[in-house]
Amino acid sequence: MNKIYTTLLCAFILVSCDLVKSDDQKVTEEEVIQVFNDMFYALDNDLDSYENYVTDDFLIYEIGRKFNLDEFLDFVKGFGKFESDRTFKNLRIDLDENSAHVSLEHIGEFTLESPTPEGETYLYYEWLESAYLVKENGELKFKFYFSQQVN
């Protein structure tokens, strides 16, 4: 009888420890929104820190092309210095224990320091976007981003 109680007690302790661990690691909406805002701040103001917000195997689909991290950063650097005003609408966040999916409408207005080859210094875009974020070493990071221009 003692063996049964000891076995049940051990099983209860192991299950309880696993539940506590899972609760500590669960992704929250607040965490998703914070990482989302931080990632876009880095994109617009500090490209050197952008890699802190994405996984090593990060992929983004932008302008009909697939980019890895280095290719995407080169693409963004091609615009030179700019000021941005971004609006995010209809943000939908679906949570899992260690991941999140985000979908949204994104409006971006950009004033470029140097004109594009076409002479443009002001750019306006509207996108429908979707992202997949995962916990990696305790930090929430973007693994995949899809952006479709709709204007």
CATH of the domain at 87: 3.10.450.50
The pLDDT of residue 3 is 60
In a domain, 15, yes or no: no
Tokens 């696993």: give the residue: 18
Phi and psi at 140, nearest 5°, equal: -80, 125
Residue 9 pLDDT exceeds 70: no
What number is the average pLDDT over the span 79-92?
96
pLDDT tens digits along 113-128: 999 889 999 999 999 9
Residue 133 pLDDT exceeds 50: yes
The pLDDT of residue 137 is 92
In a domain, 3, yes or no: no
| Residue 107 lies in domain | 26-149
Residues 6 or more apart whose CB falls under 8 angstroms from that of 121 comprise 111, 112, 114, 115
Q: Band of the pLDDT at 36, cuts 50, 70, 90?
A: very high
In a domain, 65, yes or no: yes
Q: Which helix (DSSP H) or strand (DSSP E) does residue 20 occupy?
A: helix 2-25
The pLDDT of residue 1 is 56
**Overall number of domains in the chain:** 1
In a domain, 64, yes or no: yes
In a domain, 104, yes or no: yes
Structural tokens at position 15: 């299950």
In a domain, 36, yes or no: yes
The pLDDT of residue 83 is 96
Share of the chain above pLDDT 90, in %: 82
Q: What is the pTM of this model?
A: 0.80
The pLDDT of residue 76 is 95
In a domain, 2, yes or no: no
